[in-house]
Structure 1
Amino acid sequence: QSEFQAIAFKALLGIDRLRLYDIDRQASEKCARNLAGKGFDITICATGQDAVEGVDIITTVTADKQYATILTDNMVGSGVHINAVGGDCPGKTELHRDILLRSDIFVEFPPQTRIEGEIQQLDADHPVT
């Protein structure tokens, strides 16, 4: 899914520089190979922190089906846009709760994302758009 996210951002916003990180470096290398020849400048990062340092947009696409903290609050600066698309079932998350508490949150379908998305970590009445 990360490849499709990258292609969409390039088509819609002209983004052509990517930093990739996965705990399995081979997964990052595979993604880079799949995007080769599509006009991207790709850097494979050694840590998640390296991947998000100073960026404007972060996309998380996590396969692990558990509560996880891929991004901690100190990793995400003010004004950064996050696409957290991997929290796609009950009990599966990617972002530390503190990131959500200081964010404007936009979701496709609130009833579903309160059960299956990042906002399952928040109170049922936490405001989302």
Structure 2
Amino acid sequence: MPRHVPATVHELTRVGLLSGLPGDDLATLAGRLEREEIAAGETVVREGEPGDRFYVVLSGLLNVTQEGLGERRMLRPGDAFGEVALAMGIPRTASVRAVTPAVVASCDQATFDELLRPLFADE
């Protein structure tokens, strides 16, 4: 389990997906996110597994792959992942692995539902 070290509001302002959050919600989210250091080569989420956390990339590079399709994209600081499984209530649709040492911050389903789900209402 990651140690609870909150992300900062400044770090979260770099995440484009979060630009629609009001300042108070962004501050609340920052306090609830758990920061985790990921070693190069470590898998953060695996395709097909239940999704229980939403992630933002604070540093490093992470590779997104899908079974049968291979590499789909590279995640960089300011990118987010894990929202599909949480928003739709389905298993992970891709695997995410660190290419370089990375730092991510994540929140649980309850925080996602409270603060982030409204961002997906229009999609």
Question: Which range, TM-score by smaller chain?
Answer: under 0.3
Q: Structure with the greater relative contact order (CA < 8 A, sep ≥ 6): 1 or 2?
A: 2
Structure (1/2) with the larger strand percentage? 2
Q: Which has the larger radius of gyration?
A: 1
Structure (1/2) with the larger helix percentage? 1
Taking structure 2 as the reference length, the TM-score comes to 0.27
Taking structure 1 as the reference length, the TM-score comes to 0.26
